[in-house]
Structure 1
């Protein structure tokens, strides 16, 4: 079968779906155009026909993750709408293994990403923010959600609490020692709500 015949059996959506399935099964480090080709039973050139490069494939995968975030049935009140969008963003990242690590490394100007960004910025503008404040607050919310979710998804592999306990004492780092119980991984839901509220309160 020629590469063109193989390509005709596929479409970009099928390639991206296979990439997301591979992500969920094996993690981001296992995702490549060759691995997706193997999963689909086609040649690597066939996958590249649709997505060109690994970087482009990851962009489209990240956009697909954001495209899964529901943008309907949102609260009418703008600040609560922004909070709910932030919650849905985090849930969308958590719905895929290494979802935050995937999205944080991409910047796709694609339909799913743009639709989510439009909804978040619109909510912030409706709160009365100026153009710059709405844009920068949206970045703050997204960066915070990505960072916290990336930590949450990696927590089993990074025993930060144990590392911190061994590294500090009341003598060497009194402030850190005092609050150490609140710095260890865990309570992600509460930390997320606190952080989003702090960002929006300072808008």
Structure 2
């Protein structure tokens, strides 16, 4: 149970902080409005008064994670700014257990999410791309960061390289067998930098 004292006023920010604490301790599968209510020592309808539904609570949690991204001190060059924003986005996801899985599938039109998206889109616009290319490149960067971070956060379960190495051989899957060594768990930083650069060079 939380350290919240009897008579303390419950507000949405407290609910979301508590939900993020639960996420970090137990993972995304353990997060629910009932679990948050139990942690706060209140009835479930008290939590739902502030966040309505679990889906809405997850949106607000995702927005809170993006609120941890610092948008100051960015490089002046547009391409460098995009890369740095992507790095900060990934670090924010990694700072919470199952952070990428939390954010995937949520589309909160909330202040922190919109602020980050505006900074990313602004950097891409400054690079001289047309509007459609900016929109699609922004999505490509976000989707890539989310997907790779999901894999990275699941690495304790079973790394992709380990899965493939046990399933492919030079005889049955020669192409996969040739590159499987480059999918080691320790290569995530390099793979991230390579992927972002590949997206930007092709935009």
TM category (shorter chain) comes to over 0.9
Query: What residue in structure 1 maps to residue 200 of structure 2?
Result: 200
Alignment of 1:41-120 (within 5 A): 41-120=41-120
Worse-matched range after superposition: 182-191 or 57-66: 182-191
Please say if 1:121 is aligned against 2:124: no
CA distance in 2, matches of 1:69, 1:128: 25
Deviation at 1:8, TM superposition (A): 7.9
Give the TM-score normalised by structure 1.
0.94
Deviation at 1:7, TM superposition (A): 10
- Please give the per-residue CA displacement for 1:125-181, whole angstroms capped at 9, x wherever unaligned: 000010000000000000000000000000010243232122111111111111110
Aligned residues: 198
Query: What residue in structure 1 maps to residue 181 of structure 2?
Result: 181
CA contact (8 A) 1:7 1:46 kept: no
CA distance in 2, matches of 1:80, 1:125: 13
CA distance in 2, matches of 1:7, 1:134: 49
CA distance in 1, matches of 2:77, 2:65: 26
Deviation at 1:124, TM superposition (A): 0.2
RMSD: 1.4
Give the TM-score normalised by structure 2.
0.94
Deviation at 1:184, TM superposition (A): 3.5
Worse-matched range after superposition: 178-187 or 103-112: 178-187
The answer for unaligned runs of 5 or more in structure 2 is 1-5
Deviation at 1:104, TM superposition (A): 0.5
CA distance in 1, matches of 2:85, 2:38: 36
